[in-house]
A = this chain, B = another copy of it.
Amino acid sequence: MLKDLWAVREAVREKNPLVYNITNTVVTNFTANVLLAAGASPIMSEGAAEAEDLARICSVLVLNIGTLHTRQIGYCLKAGEYANKFQKPVVLDPVGVGATAYRNVTAGQILQDVRVALIRGNYGEIGFIAGTAGQVKGVDSADSGLDLPAVKKMAQEYSTLVAATGATDYLTDGQSVMTNATGHELLQMVTGTGCALTSLTGAFLAVADEPRLGVLAALAFYGAAARKAAENSKGPGSFMPKFLDALYNLSYKEFKKAAEDKVALLT
C-alpha cells in the first residue's frame, strides 16, 4: 500500500493542483509554504467577489474557520456552493469548534449548505461535531478519547470522509477506518500544522483516483516528513525549516522507513 500512497504524492508534484484557501490569518503564510514545498499551488482569498472565478479554476476548495470575521461566513458559504456547482471537492477544517457558540454555528451552517468531501480536525473538534466531546481548550490542543462509532456515524450523516488527527490519525468514510501514526509530537508545538495539513489533504485528495487513498497518503506523507525533520531538531523553531525541507525533498526510501507498520486498515 505504501507504493500506492507514494504515487499520490508524486501526482501532486506532477499535476500541481491549485488549492483555493479561505483560511485564518494565523496560518496563511505557513499553509502556502507547506503547499508550495509539497508541489501544490496555493491561492488565498478574502474577497467574496472572486468566489465564482476561483471555484471555477481551482482543483479543490479548503474552508477554515480559524479567525472568521462574521462577514466571511457568507463568503465561505458562497465559495462552497460554487465549488459544489463546479464539482470541485470541498474540505472543511472546523478550527476551535466546541470552544465558542459562534464557531459551532458557523461549522454547522457550512455543513448544512455545502457538500464537503472531507472534514479534518483534531480529536476534540471532530468529537464535538460527532456529538461526543467535552470542552475544547484552545485550538492547538489534542484531546484523547475518540468515540470511533460516533465518528463513523458522523461521516455517514454528512456523506463525507472524516479525518481525526492526533497521536494516531483516524480516517473513515463511514464504513471502514484507516489509521496513520507517522506523525511527531513536535507538530503540536508549531501553530498551524493542523490547518496546513488540512490544505495538503485537499491537494492530495484532488489528484487521487480514490479520495480516501488521497487523504491517507497526505496524512502518512505529512507525518513522515515531520518525523524526518524532528530527527535533528532542538525544538519547534529549528523543526519548522527542516519540516518544509522534508516536505520538499522526502524520498520514497525515507517515506517507506517512516511509514512502515504505521499505516493500517483498522476495520
Q: Are B48 and A70 within 8 A (Cβ)?
A: yes
Give the nearest-CB partner of A46 in chain B: B67
Contacts A33-B236, A245-B234: A102 and B47 contacting too (C-beta < 8 A)? yes
Give the nearest-CB partner of A33 in chain B: B191
CA A24 to CA B23, docked complex, whole Å? 13
Q: Are A138 and B245 within 8 A (Cβ)?
A: no
In the complex, chain B residues whose CB is within 8 Å of the CB of A96: 43
A149 within 8 A of B: no
Say which one of A49-57, A109-117, A158-166, A213-221 lies at the interface with B. A49-57
Q: Are A46 and B68 within 8 A (Cβ)?
A: yes
Chain B CB within 10 A, most for which of A96, A135, A244, A249: A244
A256 within 8 A of B: no
Checking B43, B138, B192 against A139 with a beta-carbon cut-off of 8 angstroms, the contacting residue is B43
In the complex, chain B residues whose CB is within 8 Å of the CB of A67: 28, 44-47
A100 within 8 A of B: yes
Q: Are B32 and A47 within 8 A (Cβ)?
A: no
A266 within 8 A of B: no
Question: Which residues does A use to contact B, with CB under 8 Å?
Answer: 18, 24-30, 32-33, 36-37, 41-50, 53-54, 57, 66-70, 96, 99-103, 135, 137-141, 188-192, 233-238, 240-249
